[in-house]
Homo-oligomer: A and B are copies of this chain.
């Protein structure tokens, strides 16, 4: 059963429009999108992750998008692509429901003085736009979102409901920010006075480049005296924490629950797994990959893949191994000194 439906397209039309090689009947009509094991006879499906190849045998789909090397494994119609996941993404966009809210500014929204709103800007119910904000054409601001005074947002952005954007924040074009994200909050700057903590004023701003995407409930602090910077096409998943003065290079993608401490500079095209922690004042080279839950405490100057987390074992094995790990230095030293029964 197709989960998403669209107007009918023939396989021949899809092949032509998306530059795919058709194998089979170009007149077959597609009206929906579905996974290999749920697709019906009018649904388009795809094979990107080879883990799902066994599902081809039973697949009922109108057609499957797949690589040439897998086409022989499927008896039905194929749309052959060098990058099936990319082709799927583009075709799936045809099925997306039109999510546009009513145009214009909802009567319950509060718009501060001297704001500039471009043509086609939508401001949803209960949103609060501070004085002097500049929002370019076709950008949509969701319900209950709050922009502090002076925020600048480019065109064709989607700022979801309940997002907060602080002063001295500037977003490029086509930026997407998901619900609950906090952009441009104060960094964690503290100085010890001898008796108590004193807050270090956070005077910097936040720059977010074109085409960035920021996940739900993710937080990005403004800089302390310089700006926090996301270069274009940085992609952040949900519940990520980016501290003050971090700089992230373009095309870097970071999975959920990762935290990056202050003043660290992340390179371009990095792929950072979920739940990672990266220390402060570090340099991470371009093209670094980090497996999930890794901790980085030193600069990584070479591209390549790095990891550190310990994979789960049955608890009794894990406990015994951890008991050894607690004494590892001593035990190995004893062994190296020939003391066997340590």
Task: Name A residues whose Cβ lies closer than 8 Å to a Cβ of B.
Answer: 3-4, 33-35, 38, 49, 51, 83, 85-86, 88-90, 92-93, 95-97, 99, 106, 108, 110, 124-126, 128, 142-144, 146, 148, 160-162, 164, 166-167, 176, 178-180, 182, 185-186, 188-193, 196-201, 203-205, 211, 213, 215-217, 219, 221, 223, 225-227, 233, 235, 237-239, 241, 243, 251, 253, 255-257, 259, 261, 274-275, 277, 279, 281, 289-298, 300, 304-315, 317-329, 331-332, 335-338, 340-342
| Residue numbers in B under 8 Å from A317 (CB-CB) | 326, 329
Min CB distance, A308 to chain B, in Å?
A: 4
Q: How far, in angstroms, from A148 to B338 measured CA to CA in the complex?
A: 67
Q: How far, in angstroms, from A252 to B311 measured CA to CA in the complex?
A: 21
| Residue numbers in B under 8 Å from A124 (CB-CB) | 128
Judge whether A191 and B85 touch: CB under 8 Å. Answer: yes
Judge whether A85 and B298 touch: CB under 8 Å. Answer: no
Knowing A314-B305, A329-B321 touch, does A241 contact B239 (C-beta < 8 A)? Answer: yes
Per DSSP, are chain A's interface residues mostly helix, strand or loop, or mixed?
A: loop
Judge whether A90 and B310 touch: CB under 8 Å. Answer: no
Q: How far, in angstroms, from A178 to B180 measured CA to CA in the complex?
A: 13
Knowing A110-B126, A251-B197, A336-B341 touch, does A311 contact B295 (C-beta < 8 A)? Answer: yes
How many monomers of this protein are in the complex? 3
| Nearest-CB residue, chain B, relative to A327 | B321
| Residue numbers in B under 8 Å from A238 (CB-CB) | 182, 185, 188, 219, 221, 241
| Residue numbers in B under 8 Å from A217 (CB-CB) | 180, 182, 217, 219, 239
| Nearest-CB residue, chain B, relative to A33 | B225
Min CB distance, A323 to chain B, in Å?
A: 7
Knowing A205-B3, A310-B295, A315-B305 touch, does A255 contact B89 (C-beta < 8 A)? Answer: no
Judge whether A311 and B297 touch: CB under 8 Å. Answer: yes
Min CB distance, A198 to chain B, in Å?
A: 5
Q: How far, in angstroms, from A166 to B162 measured CA to CA in the complex?
A: 12
| Residue numbers in B under 8 Å from A281 (CB-CB) | 49, 51
Min CB distance, A284 to chain B, in Å?
A: 10
